[in-house]
Structure 1
């Protein structure tokens, strides 16, 4: 396709520059893999010598000279091998998969191949032990899904940076997830001097100045090629993609579900008020909070927390855990009664492991006893508050009782009901159409799976728990028009890694995530080159809950990424700030307003 030919010309040009390589950041589904394979093949056909590498400071004459090394998630090994087989002649490239127990131990075995495929995990383990991958001077190293190394302190990031190569490429549709520092990890891998040094990065780029932002924009314009599907369609260069519609589905929680949500919200706001008070006492940047008046919402919540909990410090991860609980209630109230699945945890990588549900019950059920310990009341107003507190405690005991039917996972929640209605109205009546249902939590996917089985609809589940070898048959079943599989249940984590799910043309996003790039990755699993049907994206949001606030924060994060990648000025914070948290707990104005 025209955009791939343009990319190939740009790749060749970049390999003649310094640093040799760069970032191919096209939208997911635009054929980055095939473009890179074309580069490797054209490079071989030219039979280029290594004369341009003789002055390479990384070259070591004692190292074996190898071909191209591709490092990717394990689930993409078969994709790379399959693309070579499908688009190259029988003997165009000698491919070696460096994976599994029988992988090579001698550098010369790897050097004999034109293309070596391995995984981030294998590379990390071998790098720690001086393994065979580190004893080859590669003609080219390609990182697929390169955002996997965005944490420059991680062992994986350090392992890819330690590889010795003449040319370096990073492939990712989402080079920026949360902060500008994500890009530093890529510049470090690319040997983009002087900004591959953290000290220089902080001095000249990450200095919170307009000049620093402009320098970053200039660097990225030089070493990165990025085209979105929308841009290519506007230019008439991508006529093969079908139309795509996005649908916002608002969900109203049932009365008993909203009661549970409100009780958890009240406790969360109380704890957050204590957190703010602690922060204000440590810092001098919140004088307004300290002087809001004794009858303010903040002050009342702070007094209540002190009465219940004393002066026990509130940690930031406790606030994030409570936000997690609020989000889970939106899916099904029964989810807050159990610990997170191991497969769910990586999505919220900033969360601690503490489960605050027990603390919530403890504080509410012991409300009267705690208040008695707090001593005599000083004012009549506080006595009135105490009477209200007694009533509230009784109400909370009733709402949060394990016997409350709302916690029964066999009962269909408002959101699950909305999901099933969507499938029954828009997918199942249309022969040949299939859907991918995406959630951050496998526990939510299990609830949908139960409903699908009750409706006698065949589905498959793909999550982090599914072994890599077992994933290909699941994907094939969805993509095969002759298969009776109508729905794939996909965890958000698993959906972010190079899957081709064009057999489905409906995608349902059940819950919003802090990182909108994860949702974008999931969407591009069905909206990509090869899709022939009209694509529909459905976003489910519970009204009057934290989910609506998360949607607002998503817009700010997408603007951040777009500003950096397009060269616009960036003035927005990239992580959850105190003002963001106030918005989520309905205790402050929208920071973007």
Structure 2
């Protein structure tokens, strides 16, 4: 019992170099084993000679410090050999930080307590990458079953969750699980809710049954018991029980209507809920009980979409609703008690949480998060404000419950608060941790959890008309080639200069260069009169770095982020209004109607603008944007096209080109106000003379139903391909009756072609990763940028 063993390894550690001269010069094999010593409150790596050359990151140091009470505990660092060999062969100032894993050793009798201390800090032991032959490995956090005689030494160096094979295996298993979540037990027939004016599709009826079952106490008790058994979770009697789950159908399957039908069906139960308390006063929340379901959406644009769905599919008077949004929103929680549905945005929820907290003063019958991946980061304000709401019934609607990190699912689980797995620590330990431990049935707990609480179907159940994809490959004109080459050469010179001066080549410099080159592929020579390529410092007129997925409008960004410069959801820069290429040519005063939130200008107004700007515009051209106009024209007068671009400046030029061609269009981007946005979307849907909708991909990629369109034009390849899928789904969704053609525009021999190549390359790499791989992911992102810019030697 007093034997000395290896408990396992922490794989997410990072070391920073203190003295580069002490770094080992001669290394052999795949890994270098180095001693780790405690110095005050931090831990250092030492060379064979005893010299301190590296310091461990604070998170890892805290984890190791939790074991300081055990005098026999020892640590060793396992460093990949390539860390040192790369340093020797590459021309760079020197190694600064590098990834390590930490093997932990101690007495077997202390193993369980040590594992518990680490788990409390969300530190989970994994299989060692490398271990001496005489060491005995016995992981106290590893999921085992009674009478199972397991030799853990076989796991050393394999199935760690960090090697390419195991990552791919885990990713494929998760994908298989998600694709299997299609079945709903039909234990009884459900009558359509009274007041529903539209007939539900078969898959929506199944969703309604799924929701009904998981809001039934007896049914959910059985689910919880089975999950605890399959995931080896200790059952506990809890005074508070949450109901709900995840509706994770892919885009366009009508999740909104399904949830509205469920709300409509539960109106009598919600009335009863608000009229009586089911607990003694001392045990119940000191909050006003109301019958309403609170629905939280990403943007005011989607508020309108939910209102439209209610008005379209619910009989008048059957479901009362109110929007808790804007300056005129209610200032008294009792005013909300007479409604069946309260609609708000994440931004308004956050603002209210920091102010009067009206939404948190009541106990809701149900809370629904639309596009629930908005709370995937549990450190954000939107997560904190959402999790703090009081409700027994909690639902997440999202087509991407796991975008790429398993941490995303852990955040949703923490919001849902299911019995026995209500915290992120417990969820990680019992549901996610087994994935990285290898062994038989390593995915069994996750499969059991998702089978119990998640429903996911694909667009295959819609039987939509066939869609086709056209890749429009184009070449830069001579003038565009000249500009592109000048910008690329200038980029290389500046990066080389930074390297030669010993300045670290950070990814933001490369990202800025890539953005400039991507924009030039769109704008062509229209920007040549004002471009300045002499610096990689971000220029507002050039970068317009709107978050691709997160910020549907500048209003929402301001409310949610409160002045932050980067999005707390994805880490990308937030939208900043910037002058259009027309405005930046020196004649800004009369160009407001081109792309801001004012009313759509009259034909006479546009003619004046065109006449004022034609000297500048006629001097430029864009091969790509001319091709977009040509393809739209070839579609004929019966077609309706949505044109997506990342940049509003691209949309501004396109709008001018379409007007020149006599094609009526509407533009929607982050600068267009809510009322005007609604008018423009309505015109595109209902006016047969409006053939084109120009949308920035950040404002139109999520949630909208634009099934009236039969053409989708993706002007430039997106860094994140899922953003393109979201955009295309605006047309490829329930209600589409025509074949849809998707056009993708790619400029040959440019960064765009490299981005597409990178996307193809990444299809063979694991899709889902652990949150602990952040350092590796950041390193990979830098390599991706070098690949796109064809600057591999930088």
TM range (shorter): 0.7 to 0.9
Q: Which has the higher contact order (CA 8 A, sep 6+)?
A: 1
Aligned counterpart for 1:329 among listed residues 520, 525, 535: 520
2:296 — aligned with what?
A: 71
| Aligned match of 1:536 | 741
d(CA) in 2 for partners of 1:537, 1:449:
20
Aligned to 1:229: 459
Residues 434 and 331 of structure 1: CA distance in aligned 2, closer, same or farther (over 3 Å): same
Partner Cα distance (1:55, 1:7) in 2: 34
In structure 2, the partner of 1:469 is 675
The alignment status of 1:492 with 2:692, answered yes or no, reads no
Q: CA deviation at 1:421?
A: 2.2
User: Distance between the aligned counterparts of 1:536 and 1:7, measured in 2?
Assistant: 30
- Deviation of 1:36 after TM superposition, in Å, equals 0.3
The answer on whether the counterparts of 1:248 and 1:538 sit within 8 Å (CA) in structure 2 is yes
Q: Any idea what SS the aligned residue of 2:411 has?
A: helix
Match for residue 650 of structure 2 among 423, 426, 444: 444
- 1:295-351 per-residue CA deviation (whole Å, 9 max, x = no partner) reads xxxxxx5xx6555xx223333311211121121122124556463478642239556
> 2: CA distance between counterparts of 1:558 and 1:137?
45
- Superposed CA RMSD in Å reads 3.4
- Which of 257, 281, 288 is residue 480 of structure 2 equivalent to? 257
The match for 1:60 is 285
Q: Secondary structure at the match of 2:643?
A: strand
How many residues are paired up? 488
* Deviation string, structure 1 residues 127-149 (Cα, Å, up to 9, x no partner): 11242100111110011122222
Q: Secondary structure at the match of 1:166?
A: strand
Distance apart, 1:465 and its partner CA: 0.8
Identify which range, 45-54 or 510-519, moves more after superposition. 45-54
Q: Which residue of 2 aligns with 1:108?
A: 334
Counterpart check, 1:37 vs 2:260 = yes
Consecutive unaligned residues of structure 1, counting only runs of 5 or more, are 233-237, 273-300, 354-406, 565-571
The answer for the alignment partner of 2:547 in structure 1 is: 346
Partner of 2:640: 434
Q: Paired residue for 2:580? A: none
Contact preservation (8 Å) 1:546, 1:585: yes
Select the structure of larger CA radius of gyration.
2
Q: 1:164 to 1:502 in 2, by over 3 A?
A: same
Could you give the per-residue CA deviations for residues 232-259 of structure 1, whole angstroms, max 9, x where no partner exists? 1xxxxx23x2221111111211233233
Q: Per the alignment, in what secondary structure is the counterpart of residue 732 of structure 2? A: coil
Could you list the runs of 4 or more consecutive aligned residues of structure 1 that deviate by over 6 angstroms after TM superposition?
A: 55-58, 556-564
Match status 1:185 vs 2:441? no
Corresponding position of 1:368: none
Q: Do 1:123 and 1:160's aligned partners in 2 also have CA atoms closer than 8 Å?
A: yes
Structure-1 separation of matches of 2:344 and 2:406: 28
Deviation (angstroms), 1:511? 0.9
| CA shift digits 1:145-193 (9 cap, x unpaired) | 2222233222112111111101111112233334333333322221246
- Spell out, residue by residue over 1:438-469, the C-alpha distance to the aligned partner (whole angstroms, 9 max, x if none): 00000111111111111111110001111112
Deviation at 1:585, TM superposition (A): 2.8
- Aligned with 2:293: secondary structure? strand
Which of 721, 738, 761 pairs up with 1:516? Answer: 721
**TM-score under structure 2 length normalisation:** 0.56
Q: Per the alignment, do residues 154 and 305 of structure 1 end up closer, same or farther by CA in structure 2, a change over 3 Å counting?
A: closer
Rate the CA distance shift 1:411–1:472 in 2: closer, same or farther, 3 A. Answer: same
C-alpha deviation, 1:536, in angstroms: 0.6
Aligned partner of 1:580 among 784, 788, 793: 784
Instruction: Specify the SS of the correspondent of 1:137.
Output: strand
Q: 1:25 aligns with which of 222, 241, 248?
A: 248
The CA distance in 1 between the partners of 2:409 and 2:283, in whole Å, is 22
What corresponds to 2:628 in structure 1?
Answer: 419
Tell me how far 1:14 sits from its aligned partner. 2.1
Give the aligned partner of residue 171 of structure 2: none
After superposition, give the CA deviation of every residue in 1:54-93 in whole Å (9 maximum; x if it has no partner). Answer: 5999951543334211111211222222222222222222
**Any residues of structure 2 matched to 1:133-532 within 5 Å, and which?**
133-192=359-418, 197-200=423-426, 205=432, 209=436, 211=438, 215-230=445-460, 232=461, 238-239=462-463, 241-269=464-492, 305-306=498-499, 310-333=501-524, 337=532, 339-340=540-541, 344-347=545-548, 350=571, 410-425=619-634, 427=635, 429=636, 431-480=637-686, 482-532=687-737
Say if 2:254 and 2:734, in contact at 8 Å, map to a contact too: yes
SS of corresponding position for 2:408: helix
The answer to whether 1:132 aligns with 2:358 is yes
Gaps of 5+ in 2: 1-200, 225-241, 533-538, 550-565, 575-615, 770-775
Quickly say closer, same or farther: Cα 1:270–1:105, change in 2 above 3 A.
Answer: same
Q: Distance in 2 between matches of 1:342 and 1:98?
A: 34
Separation (CA, whole Å) in 2 of partners of 1:3 and 1:12: 14
Distance 1:83 1:56, change over 3 A: farther
1:496 Cα offset (Å): 2.1
Go from structure 1 to structure 2 and tell me whether the alpha carbon gap of 1:9 and 1:466 turns closer, same or farther (over 3 Å shift).
Answer: same
Please say if residues 270 and 292 of structure 2, whose CA atoms lie closer than 8 Å, have aligned partners that are also in contact: no
* Cα distance change of structure 1 residues 96 and 424 upon mapping to structure 2, 3 Å threshold: closer
Shift of 1:218: 4.4
Q: What is the alpha-carbon distance in structure 1 between the residues aligned to residue 514 and residue 480 of structure 2?
A: 16
Q: In the alignment, is the contact (CA less than 8 A) between 1:318 and 1:352 conserved in 2? A: no
Contact 1:64 1:107 (C-alpha < 8 Å) held by counterparts: no
Question: 1:471 is paired with a residue of what secondary structure?
Answer: helix
**Further displaced range: 334-343 or 250-259:** 334-343
Relative to structure 1, is the Cα distance of residues 513 and 340 closer, same or farther in structure 2, using a 3 angstrom cutoff?
farther
C-alpha deviations, 1:474-515, integer Å up to 9, x for none?
1111111x4311111100001123212222210100111122
Q: 1:58 touches 1:166 (CA, 8 Å); kept in 2?
A: no
CA separation of 1:410 and 1:180: change in aligned 2, threshold 3 A: farther
C-alpha separation in 1, matches of 2:278 and 2:472: 56
SS in 2 for 1:168: strand
Does residue 13 in structure 1 map to residue 216 in structure 2?
Answer: no
SS at match of 1:550: helix
Are the structure 2 counterparts of residues 458 and 123 from structure 1 closer, same or farther at C-alpha, using a change threshold of 3 Å? same
**Contact between 1:41 and 1:93, CA under 8 Å: does it hold in 2?**
yes
Secondary structure of the structure 2 residue equivalent to 1:71:
strand
The answer as to whether partners of 1:142 and 1:168 remain within 8 angstroms in 2 is: yes
Rounded Cα–Cα distance in structure 2 between residues aligned with 1:410 and 1:214 = 64
SS where residue 167 of structure 1 aligns?
Answer: strand
Q: Establish whether residue 98 from structure 1 lines up as the match of residue 324 from structure 2.
A: yes
In structure 2, do the counterparts of structure 1 residues 151 and 11 end up closer, same or farther at CA, with 3 Å as the change threshold?
Answer: same
Displacement after TM superposition at 1:265 (Å): 3.2
